[in-house]
Amino acid sequence: MNKEETKNKPNQSNALPYVIVNKKSLQVIKNKTNDYSILYTMKNPHIYLPQIINFTFIQLIYQLNKEVFEDCHIQQISETEAKVYILVKHYFKELGLPRRYTYLNVKVTKTETDIFYTFETNYDELPPEEAKKPNDASLLPMDNMCVNYHIIDQHNVEARQDIKFSTKFDIPEFMEKFSLTLFSKMFIRTKQFIENILC
């Protein structure tokens, strides 16, 4: 473990917020119970980054991280709205914990300097039949996630993801550490893929 990771390693004495992961221009921060932020940058002088940040970007994250996700289905309603179903791998099956899925209402808004995504869990509907949700999968109670891609210039973007789970959702410490480490690896892989694209 390097010095950078060691100084940010959480323990019971850490006051909130604290940095859980800090490596390769990516940070995962615990703001308070069930409330997290993920910060990272993307740079590529060969492509116009704002042009690839759209609903297909979600599909790209899925394709690059199939060891994390079992399935992904995007129902695009318009240029600014979609419904997204994602089935997560059943990592804690041996512990008797349910496999999880998300079903999200997604909206996007754009300005000259920012692209905003809001993800809100759809607690009122089941995913469409073509999503083929397993009967034993339970909805992940992530109330919402807000993502801001701040455009420094056409080749340089700063991303911030704020994720809030239901206050009624009890996340065991071991699951929190495992899941956040997995998330950081997932976004580092996506970030590196984007930054290595050559045209």
Q: Is 5 part of any domain? A: no
> Is 80 exceeded by the pLDDT of residue 2?
no
Share the mean pLDDT of the chain.
90
Cβ atoms 72, 106 nearer than 8 A: no
Query: Which residue in the block uniquely carries the two structure tokens 């909130």?
Result: 16
The answer to whether residue 8 sits within a structural domain is no
> Residue 96: which domain range?
14-195
Residue 106 falls within a domain, yes or no? Answer: yes
7 within domain boundaries:
no
DSSP, collapsed to helix, strand or coil, labels residue 19 as: strand
Provide the number of structural domains found in the chain.
1
Supply the pTM of this predicted model: 0.86
Strand 137-139, strand 99-110: pairing? parallel
CA distance linking residue 3 with residue 14, whole number of Å: 17
Residue 4 domain flag:
no
Name the band, by pLDDT with cuts 50, 70 and 90, for residue 14: low
Report yes or no on 147 lying in a domain. yes
**Tokens matching residue 61:** 């994250």
**CA–CA distance from 12 to each of 16, 86, 178 (Å)?**
10, 32, 17
CB 25 within 8 A of CB 41: yes
Q: Is 6 inside a domain boundary?
A: no
Q: What per-residue confidence (pLDDT) applies to 61?
A: 94
Rounded average pLDDT over 36-56: 95
Can you give the pLDDT at residue 175? 87
In the predicted model, is pLDDT for residue 26 greater than 60? yes
Q: What is the CATH number of the domain that holds 31?
A: 3.30.530.20
With a CB cutoff of 8 Å and minimum separation 6, the contacts of 13 are none
pLDDT in tens, 182-198: 889 999 999 999 999 98
> 97 falls in which pLDDT band (50, 70, 90)?
confident
Cα 50 to Cα 156: distance, rounded to the nearest angstrom: 9
Residue 50 reports pLDDT greater than 70: yes
- Residue 3 — pLDDT band, cuts 50, 70, 90? very low
